[in-house]
Amino acid sequence: MTLKSRNAIVTGSTSGIGLAIARALAKEGANIMINGMGDAAAIEAERAAIEKEFGVTSIYSGADMTKPDEIHAMVKEAETKLGSVDILVNNAGCSMSRQSRNFRA
């Protein structure tokens, strides 16, 4: 399988399964937008490593998947910087704060 010239957004991909998915897509030639939270230096190191190891473009968005405006901006950024979005992997998990879980209407 080759994904050369394809562009992917993988949410929740700064570590774990999401990062493994992003790396697998990059290995097949897809340009990647990784997304998630974490240590900025570690995320940048991983983004740069994907580019170097697989010879693809790799960009990062810290968009919060609980905020529609940030999601929209993330997709627009991917379209602008990569040219299109051909693949979307919705891997992000959203956790609710204790306060939100205890809310009663």
- What single-letter DSSP state applies at residue 19? H
pLDDT in tens, 11-62: 999 999 999 999 999 999 999 999 999 999 999 999 999 999 999 999 999 9
Q: What is the CATH number of the domain that holds 40?
A: 3.40.50.720
* pLDDT value, residue 95: 56
- Domain region containing 45: 7-92
Q: What is the pTM of this model?
A: 0.86
Within a domain: 98:
no
φ, ψ of residue 59 to 5 degrees: the values are -125, 165
Within a domain: 103:
no
* pLDDT value, residue 97: 45
Measured between its terminal Cα atoms, the distance across the chain in Å is 50
